[in-house]
Amino acid sequence: MTMPEEARPVVGTHRGAVRGIQEAPTPASGEAAVPVAAFRGIPYAASPVGERRFAAPLPHPGWSGVRDAARSGPSAPQAASRLEAVMGPRAADWDEEGCLNLNVWTPAAALAPGAPARAVLVWFHGGGWTSGSGGWDWYDGARLAALGDIVVVTANYRLGPLGFLHLPAIGAANLGNQDQAAVLRWVRDTVAAFGGNPGRVTVGGQSAGAYAALSLALAPDTGGLVHRVIAQSGPWGLHPQNPADAAESTAAYLRILGIEPEGDPAALGTALRTLPAEQLVTAYGQLAAMSTPPGEVAPPMYPVLGGPGVPRAWQEAVADGALGDKELLIGATEDEMTAFLAFGGADRSRVGPLTDRLFGDGIGEIAALRAAQGVPAYVYRFTRRPDPDPHGLGATHCAELPFLFGTFDAYPEAPMLGPVDADDRALARAFGGALAAFTATGSPDVPGTSPWGPWLAGPSQEVKRF
């Protein structure tokens, strides 16, 4: 049944009013039905087109009247994900115009006058800095908001060459990181209107999104906006890209486009800003095919050390105590690297060693540092595997995402998920409930479940298995 327009929730922001929709996520057995208000496709920055392409994000100029926020906005320009064989295909939905948008889910009761402000989870999608969208139904935040009585925010950021081309002479420097910082500033200034508390913000994400969450918590200009961190399957074995390597990737990319890398910066900027976005995306695919062998996690372009948002490597920053007293929940799946090695004839004997080197070892290092600093981390290992599992994926990279958001129906063709039964739905309640509880309280313990102890210094290193 369609809700009459006059009954749909309206929220006023400093850029204009938005009209959302009220949803009632179907509760699982033993859960109460909690109405949630959803506001999708809200611009948080001006469109990065024309002269704004390859420039730092600017605040959106705003709008008059009430903006419809019933549907997600466009994704950032991108090609198909290289993990489609694992997660299932997505229809292309990108448009450079309007791609810097975000989505908010809030318990409907939080919008009532005088209602207490809820804790906020700002969650960034993964995709290897190359693909993904906060507006996809994979990451629909309604169920998570209802499960934890929290406000959930997901957002887009620029990807591939439009987000991570390293050409500071024209303003192109970690633009995706700068977009993510702009999201946090929007939350600081605006989330109270949606019933959220800007003083209780957890920043989370998966894969490249986990890397972003930790970077935002560590960077001096955004760290004060972050109070807790959730880091799922971050590729901690990747150091930020060396500027010299990034310059080489940029030169190779420009040559593919037929642009002279040593040209005048103004001419370079003009050339890059006048090419169709489709051409920029296609050329990036050609660069990746030339430079990314099977099983390689690092894309040709990703955050560059010393650029905006990444003043130093996470190893140095965490060791120096840059997280302060921020609580941390961090973990990985059991078989991360099968997503990258199960198809295409790659050497599967490398799964275990590469999973440890790129994902697991960094988790232990971060957790040990936090324990030594007196702020122990909560560490998990996600072990659920599909049954049947014809591709031998096990608990692969991204396998926990349907269980966090409870969005099983959004993955109809995902080998990583397979058939879902009552035990899986109970696992989703436990996993999503733990991360929502951490967002709200700083502890992932949920009533009725076994306690989750933190990772402590010395031999008491507890890892929660899901």
- Positions annotated as catalytic residues are 207, 336, 397
Q: Are 203 and 232 in contact (CB under 8 A)?
A: no
Dist. CA 308–CA 178, nearest whole Å? 7
Q: Which of 146, 124, 120, 145 is nearest to 200 (CA)?
A: 120
DSSP-derived secondary structure for 350-410: GHHHHHIIIIIHHHHHHHHHHHHTT-PPEEEEE----SS-TT---S-TTTTHHHHHT-GGG
Q: What is the DSSP letter of 27?
A: P
End-to-end Cα distance, the chain: 37
Quote the radius of gyration of the chain (alpha carbons, Å).
21
- Contacts of residue 214, Cβ cutoff 8 Å, sequence gap at least 6: 229, 231, 234, 314, 318
Dist. CA 81–CA 53, nearest whole Å? 23
Element (H, E) at 330: strand 327-333
Query: Residues for the chain: how many in total?
Result: 466
Q: Are 78 and 132 in contact (CB under 8 A)?
A: yes
Q: What is the DSSP letter of 14?
A: T
Contacts by 92-96 with C-beta closer than 8 Å and gap 24+? Answer: 93/133, 93/135, 94/133, 96/47, 96/48, 96/49, 96/53, 96/162, 96/277
Buried b (16+ CB within 10 A) or exposed e, 315-338: eebbeeebbeebbbbbbbbbbbbb
Dist. CA 136–CA 131, nearest whole Å? 12
